[in-house]
Chain A
Amino acid sequence: MEARKRAASILTYTLLIVSFAVFVFPFFLMVVNSFKNNGEILESPFSLPTSLNFGHFAEVVDKMNFFVSFRNTVVITLLSVLLIGIFAAMTAYYMVRRPTKFNNGLFALMVASMIIPFQSIMIPLIYIYGAKLHWIDAAPIPLLIILYIGFGSALSIFMYHGFVKSIPYELEEASLLDGCTRPQTFFKIVLPMLAPTSVTIAILNVLWIWNDYLLPSLVLTKDQDFTMPIKMKVFNGTYMNNWELLIPALLLTILPILVAYLFGQRYIIRGVSQGAIK
């Protein structure tokens, strides 16, 4: 029995270490090759760099106009996630506390909409807001944020809906009796209690919006509006196979979210697993 347990644990470790290597290896390649020049990269992609040459990073930051696309991505992601969170919480709360036919129907409609593939709305989307109404020319970033709120609300409302149901109503009654209005009660009593769910929803939405490519690639047309994935795509097209620039560019693009993960990994992992259960 002891021997079998030991064998099982050795097998488990071996499998885990092999999977670890497979999952981390591409990132390792990015890091070691970001300091090399083209000749070294092609000659020995696996070797550690001979010197820590940050020159390519500086070149990439400059050529990519990195900070502009970084700022755009931060602004778009933060505003979208914040607004989705607030509006979805308000709506889910009201739907639970006032289950009229209209509210129940709206809830059902939103849940059903979650199976619509983005591909089957993108053509009319671009047609209506580009060719017809010219919102894409006039205000691409606000339009993008509006669209994210629209696409993100269904799942977020669905998750808040489940959580609001578990909150007892007595607390709200007390606050209403004390003379608070319905909105005041929501913001002072209910919203703070939704905080753990809000964290989960925010994490799922950040992972999605920060990395999204197809929608911004259709809405953002000017260089100064580009998010990091779009900028990376353009950069890749310009420096095709020029790995000494492409690799540092890729590394810089993934660095912000990797750093965020380093600090918030516990919450992120928990957020993802809770997001799946609800």
Chain B
Amino acid sequence: MITEKSRLKSLGNQLFFTGPTIIFFAIAVLIPFAYGLYLTLTDMTSPVNPIKFSGFGNYKTAFTDTAFWESMWLTVEFVVATVIIINILGFILAFLVTSGVKMQNFFRTALFTPNLIGGLILGYIWQFIFVQTLPSIGDKLGIEWLRLGWLGDEHLAFWAIVIVTIWQSAGYMMIIFVAGLVNVPKDVMEAATIDGANAWQRLRNVILPLMVPSFVVTVFLTLKNAFMVYDVNYSLTAGGPYGSTTMVSMHVVQKAFTENIYGVGQAEAIVLFIIVAVITGLQVYFSKRMEVAA
């Protein structure tokens, strides 16, 4: 451990090693977060308006803003749909690419590809599919639900965003599950087989309990990403049709930068932060308790 003889030298090293990080972290995260808390207590409408203290009025407005709660509820539905499907699909894919078939690495590499590309670009790519390709298949084969433009339909547009998000993230979670699966000890698996456990029992009683640490990570990541979804939402539907797919992140952006109601937008962003913090905190706490040792 470091024990410097002179205090000056000790201070010098402290500044040298941690100084840059502290400065950048403060500029990007600490100061804006603290200042953001203060902004929620002001009646700020635009950057040039003088700020006046207004107590908890913005939070009151936020709690009665039905558009905000609609977008929050839609986001919760989005979170539930994507977190469940991505984790199940990612796990199945991981199982398939570690099952011992040929070209496993090729499949891993290919299934990961969507993660290389940002959500905005992926949204545009899928826009082509939803606007042009699917309707043209539907036309030729006479399938009615493909002929409808999904992005123009208030309910299907939501599922379009879900599909693109799943397509984007399943490969990433697969890679995390693969790391967990190859760490399941071979001898434990063999012992279970010798004891007469069939494939389902091995999955249920050996593999899944040992995979809990992987699930802690993947559920945390998918939860957090889904609550913060913006890029795919923006490029695929931009919140439409008729505001039917405006998720909470887009609502906050619009509130602040389009409608110029900074204070309320910031108060809603803080409410979002509290909800995400509580949910991810509970998730990590409870799933950590499910972890077992091999």
Per-residue A-contact encoding for B63-101, CB less than 8 Å = 1, 0 else: 000000000000000000000000000001100110101
Within A77-120, which residues are at the interface with B (CB < 8 Å)? 87-88, 90-91, 93-95, 97-99, 102-103, 106, 110, 113, 115-120
| Inter-chain contact A154/B25, CB cutoff 8 Å | yes
| Inter-chain contact A117/B227, CB cutoff 8 Å | yes
CA distance A41 to B92 in the complex (A): 35
By secondary structure, the A interface counts as: helix
In the assembled complex, the CB of A61 is this many whole angstroms from the nearest CB of chain B, namely 17
CA distance A99 to B2 in the complex (A): 9
Closest residue of chain B to A156 (Cβ to Cβ) is B21
Check A29 for interface membership: any CB of B closer than 8 A: yes
Contact pick for B18, options A22, A106, A247, CB 8 Å: A106
Report B-chain residues with C-beta under 8 Å of the C-beta of A169: 1
Contact pick for B269, options A16, A120, A212, A274, CB 8 Å: A120
| Inter-chain contact B36/A120, CB cutoff 8 Å | yes
Check A141 for interface membership: any CB of B closer than 8 A: no
Check B162 for interface membership: any CB of A closer than 8 A: no
Contact pick for B272, options A93, A113, A119, CB 8 Å: A119
CA distance A211 to B120 in the complex (A): 8
Check B8 for interface membership: any CB of A closer than 8 A: no
- Interface segment, one of A50-58, A62-70, A257-265: A257-265
| Inter-chain contact B124/A117, CB cutoff 8 Å | no
CA distance A106 to B224 in the complex (A): 23
| Inter-chain contact A128/B35, CB cutoff 8 Å | yes
Check A42 for interface membership: any CB of B closer than 8 A: yes
Check A188 for interface membership: any CB of B closer than 8 A: no
Closest residue of chain A to B133 (Cβ to Cβ) is A45
| Inter-chain contact B133/A150, CB cutoff 8 Å | no
A29 touching B128 in the complex, CB below 8 Å, given contacts A16-B97, A117-B276, A124-B266: yes
Per-residue B-contact encoding for A201-237, CB less than 8 Å = 1, 0 else: 0000001001111100010000000000100110010
Report A-chain residues with C-beta under 8 Å of the C-beta of B47: 126-127, 130-132
Check A15 for interface membership: any CB of B closer than 8 A: yes
| Inter-chain contact A207/B101, CB cutoff 8 Å | no
Report B-chain residues with C-beta under 8 Å of the C-beta of A13: 101
A232 touching B120 in the complex, CB below 8 Å, given contacts A128-B32, A151-B29: yes
Report B-chain residues with C-beta under 8 Å of the C-beta of A125: 28, 32
Contact pick for B110, options A23, A113, A211, CB 8 Å: A23
Within A8-33, which residues are at the interface with B (CB < 8 Å)? 9, 12-13, 15-16, 19-20, 22-24, 26-27, 29-30, 33
Per-residue A-contact encoding for B107-145, CB less than 8 Å = 1, 0 else: 111111111111111001110110111001000000000
Report B-chain residues with C-beta under 8 Å of the C-beta of A245: none
Contact pick for B172, options A20, A119, A132, A272, CB 8 Å: A272
| Inter-chain contact B273/A116, CB cutoff 8 Å | yes
| Inter-chain contact A261/B235, CB cutoff 8 Å | no
CA distance A169 to B93 in the complex (A): 42
| Inter-chain contact A98/B2, CB cutoff 8 Å | yes
Report B-chain residues with C-beta under 8 Å of the C-beta of A97: 1-2
| Inter-chain contact A118/B262, CB cutoff 8 Å | no
Check B281 for interface membership: any CB of A closer than 8 A: yes
CA distance A261 to B109 in the complex (A): 9
| Inter-chain contact B114/A23, CB cutoff 8 Å | yes
| Inter-chain contact A150/B28, CB cutoff 8 Å | yes
Report A-chain residues with C-beta under 8 Å of the C-beta of B108: 269
Report B-chain residues with C-beta under 8 Å of the C-beta of A126: 47, 257
B residues adjacent to A (C-beta < 8 A): 1-2, 4, 13-14, 16-18, 20-22, 24-33, 35-36, 39, 44, 47-48, 92-93, 96-97, 99, 101, 107-121, 124-126, 128-129, 131-133, 136, 167, 171-172, 175-176, 178-179, 214, 217-218, 221, 224, 227-228, 230-231, 234-235, 248-249, 252-253, 256-257, 262, 265-266, 269-270, 272-273, 276-277, 280-281
Q: 5 A-B contacts, Cβ less than 8 Å apart?
A: A16-B96, A29-B125, A98-B13, A154-B29, A183-B13
A residues adjacent to B (C-beta < 8 A): 9, 12-13, 15-16, 19-20, 22-24, 26-27, 29-30, 33, 41-42, 45-46, 87-88, 90-91, 93-95, 97-99, 102-103, 106, 110, 113, 115-128, 130-132, 146-151, 153-154, 157, 169, 182-183, 186, 207, 210-214, 218, 229, 232-233, 236, 241, 243, 246-247, 250, 253-254, 257-258, 261, 265, 268-269, 272-274, 276-277
Closest CB pairs A-B (n = 10) = A150-B28, A211-B118, A131-B47, A94-B17, A273-B179, A124-B36, A120-B269, A120-B273, A276-B176, A150-B24
Known: A153-B21, A265-B109. 20 other contacts (CB 8 A): A15-B96, A19-B107, A45-B132, A87-B20, A91-B18, A98-B13, A115-B277, A119-B252, A120-B266, A120-B273, A123-B39, A123-B252, A123-B256, A126-B257, A128-B35, A183-B16, A211-B119, A213-B120, A243-B128, A258-B116
